[in-house]
């Protein structure tokens, strides 16, 4: 057991933190969106329409969308240094939160690119979509992005605060 703890301390990134980030951003966030919006009948996210949810429920859609959220979070976290030793130690709460929110902002930028790119590519193909339909599709995509960013920010901040021992 001590060897495992030494290996964990010598690793540049804690396995527990990395796995926790992946579970929170990849499973918990999209599952909460499904429970809070889709299963209550309030709103059906556009990313659930890409997957056939009749046989297996929404598990395929959750995992597929979660893979996108996790990829964006991990890229942003590595780019902003959110896995650095100073970013995970309990020393300064303000600096800690700033690091998390800086990563969240970079993640939001990457998610926005992932959301806008298909809209731009489908719009340039000369489809028969009216301006109203295009605006409606953009609004739904924007709302999906807003849900993803807000819920990811809350969940990942809470997880990181728990991991660092603040809560």
Note the pLDDT tens digit of each residue in 16-40.
889 999 999 999 999 999 999 888 8
Beta carbons of 69 and 111 less than 8 angstroms apart: yes
pTM: 0.82
The two tokens of residue 38 are 């889709």
Note the pLDDT tens digit of each residue in 99-128.
899 999 999 999 999 888 877 777 655 566
- Domain ranges across the chain: 2-164
d(CA 25, CA 51): 19
Note the pLDDT tens digit of each residue in 45-95.
888 887 766 666 788 889 999 999 999 999 999 999 888 776 677 778 888
Mean pLDDT over each residue of the chain, to the nearest integer = 84
Residue 61, C-beta contacts closer than 8 angstroms, at least 6 positions apart:
30, 34, 47, 48, 50, 51, 53
């Amino acid at each position: 057991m001590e060897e495992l703890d030494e290996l964990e301390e010598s690793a540049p990134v804690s396995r527990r933190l990395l796995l926790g980030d992946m579970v929170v951003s990849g499973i918990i966030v999209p599952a909460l969106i499904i429970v809070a919006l889709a299963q209550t009948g309030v709103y059906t996210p556009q990313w659930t329409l890409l997957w056939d949810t009749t046989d297996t429920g929404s598990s395929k859609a959750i995992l597929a969308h979660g893979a996108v959220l996790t990829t964006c979070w991990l890229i942003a976290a590595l780019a902003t240094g959110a896995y650095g030793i100073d970013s995970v130690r309990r020393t300064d709460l303000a600096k800690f939160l700033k690091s998390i929110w800086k990563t969240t902002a970079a993640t939001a930028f990457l998610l926005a690119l992932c959301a806008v790119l298909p809209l731009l590519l489908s719009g340039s193909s000369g489809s028969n979509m009216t301006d109203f339909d295009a605006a409606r599709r953009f609004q739904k995509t924007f709302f999906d992005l807003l849900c993803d960013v807000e819920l990811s920010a809350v969940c990942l901040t809470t997880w990181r605060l728990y991991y660092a021992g603040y809560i």
